[in-house]
Amino acid sequence: MQTPQEKFPQLCCEQIKLLTGGKKLAYIGTYGCQQNVSDSEKLRGLLIEAGYEPTDDDSAADIVVINTCSVREHAEAKVFGIIGALSHKKKRQPDCVIAVCGCMTEREGAKQKLRASYPQVDIVFGPSELQRFPEYLYRHLSERERVFSAHTYAAAERPEIHEGLPAARDKSVSAFVSVMYGCDNFCSYCVVPYVRGRERSREPEAVLREVRGLAEAGYRDITLLGQNVNSYGKGLPDAVTFPELLRRVNEIPGDFRVRFMTSHPKDADGELFSAMAECDKVAACLHLPFQSGSTRVLEAMNRRYTREQYLEKVTAAREKIPGLVLTSDVIVGFPGETEADFEETLSLIEQVRFDALFTFIYSPRPGAPSYLTKATDAPETIQARFDRLLAAQNRISEELHAGYIGKTVRVLIDKEVGGAEYPFEGRTEGNRLVRCKTGEPGQFRDVTVGGATRWSLFE
């Protein structure tokens, strides 16, 4: 049963359909992380309810939605470029609607820039008000007004979670399920706590209902999402922890795999590793961002763990979870990072040997505490460190991948990609990409690995 509040977006969708007569095309451009991919799936679901048909061609669309990311300067610059280019479309097609949403719109500076310098933008709203999108769209279509949401997190400390939005998913084999929103960790370089607001968890029953539905619909790979899933459950009336949630998800009948991201190392503990080891549906893979190998830098980043504590967690996880695939994120060039600090980052990756590593150059974000602290070294020095790090990780990934040759791995076939030799693509339990000779999307297959590169495995 939907509450009247939950029904309201659908009522607005019906009004939009009456107003436009349906038969309109919608394009959604998504930037940023999986959280945005998942949000875009809900926006697409709402647009379908409002009578729009999804298209991949923005030039033909009657509405263009740009779901933005703010995590690094480059991400914002790219989006401003795309929105800028949409002015040509607006000239050609003045009735088309341009909506901008996502994390960037929660940065006051970016929002002001959109208002002042991008007149082609009709609607702006933040990531915690997806449910209001139909209302904003209706207001714009009926009154021709520019609708810039006045939402700020200051007004609603912990915005309510709106359940029941329809999701039109990108894929039919794998699916994202948000278990929580926002972040309370305030790493000093990061804009996410400011653009996504305070941490809040969905009721376990709502998560379980969604996973059950996906399993029944034939989804085989389900990723539970949150900025720090280990904080799941804080503040819920029925205080369920993340390991407990994993155990409950594991009991749902069906042949599917469960992953999750992201885990903050300070809260990843034995409870989590035991749940991962004991739940047969939970994949033996863990994304555990370390950010820096130097305790001094970790302290300045407000990460609240030391290099040694991080390494202890890795050892504990590997002891408990056989065949664990471990991936991580790292930042190079944080203000104050010295050559010696960087050497510690390098030595950490040599010691841990991550299966894959997402490497970033530090980007100062307005509003984040480290914003005004200048980098100690020149950009060229930082770039050279970044290149050394990448080269080291590429070698490690290549060596680890070569170790799969001759072994048999269980692969979930994702899709048919064409090509003569390896027409199918799939993923191992540890999320390694495998190019396969045969298969059927949505089916598991045991594949003997015949070749490997740093990026993927081959049958």
Q: Give me the residues that bind ligand SF4 (CB under 6 A), please.
A: 183, 185-187, 190, 192-193, 227-228, 264
Partner whose footprint covers residue 193, from ligand SAH, ligand SF4, ligand F3S, none (CB < 5 to 8 Å by kind):
ligand SF4
Rounded Cα gap, residues 145 and 349, in angstroms: 53
- Give the nearer residue to ligand F3S in terms of CB position, either 107 or 259: 107
Least distance (Å) between residue 76 CB and ligand SAH: 11
Number of H helices and number of E strands within the chain?
13, 20
Phi, psi values for residue 222, rounded to 5°: -120, 125
**Exposure class string for 349-365: b at 16+ Cβ within 10 A, else e:** beebebbbbebbbbbeb
111 binding ligand SAH? (CB under 6 A): no
Report CA Rg, the chain: 23
Among 329, 343, 377, 398, binds ligand SAH (CB under 6 A): 329
57-65, 130-138, 144-152, 184-192 -> range binding ligand SAH (CB under 6 A) = 184-192
189 binding ligand SAH? (CB under 6 A): yes
Strand partners, 285: 325
291 binding ligand SAH? (CB under 6 A): yes
- Give the nearer residue to ligand SAH in terms of CB position, either 191 or 284: 191
Rounded Cα gap, residues 354 and 325, in angstroms: 8
- Give the nearer residue to ligand F3S in terms of CB position, either 78 or 318: 78
Partner whose footprint covers residue 70, from ligand F3S, ligand SF4, ligand SAH, none (CB < 5 to 8 Å by kind):
ligand F3S
List the one residue out of 356, 354, 352, 457 whose CA is nearest residue 407: 457
190 binding ligand SAH? (CB under 6 A): yes
Among 83, 192, 258, 286, binds ligand SAH (CB under 6 A): 192
Least distance (Å) between residue 269 CB and ligand SAH: 16
Q: Where are the alpha helices (DSSP H) in 30-179?
A: 34-49, 73-92, 108-117, 133-143
182 binding ligand SAH? (CB under 6 A): no
Tell me which residues touch ligand F3S (CB under 6 A).
32-33, 35-36, 69-71, 103, 192, 195-196
CA distances from residue 436 to 85, 397, 423 in whole angstroms, order as listed:
39, 20, 7
Structure tokens at 251: 């009991």
Interface characters, 334-373, with ligand SAH (x: CB under 6 A): --------------------------x-xx-x--------
Least distance (Å) between residue 360 CB and ligand SAH: 4
- Give the nearer residue to ligand F3S in terms of CB position, either 15 or 363: 363
Q: Are 58 and 46 in contact (CB under 8 A)?
A: no
Interface characters, 51-90, with ligand SAH (x: CB under 6 A): --------------------xx------------------
Least distance (Å) between residue 177 CB and ligand F3S: 16
The residue whose two tokens read 């990780």 is: 393
Least distance (Å) between residue 136 CB and ligand F3S: 20
Residue 291 DSSP one-character state? B
Strand partners, 73: none
Exposed / middle / buried, residue 323 (Cβ in 10 Å: 0-12, 13-18, 19+): exposed
Partner whose footprint covers residue 245, from ligand SAH, ligand F3S, ligand SF4, none (CB < 5 to 8 Å by kind):
none
Structure tokens at 126: 């933040």
List the one residue out of 97, 96, 105 whose CA is nearest residue 129: 105
Partner whose footprint covers residue 362, from ligand SAH, ligand SF4, ligand F3S, none (CB < 5 to 8 Å by kind):
ligand SAH
Q: How many CA atoms lie within 13 A of 350 on its CB side?
A: 10
Q: Please state, as a whole number, how many other Cβ atoms lie within 10 Å of the Cβ of residue 31.
A: 21
The residues binding ligand SAH (CB under 6 A) are: 71-72, 189-190, 192, 227-228, 262, 264, 289, 291, 329, 331, 360, 362-363, 365
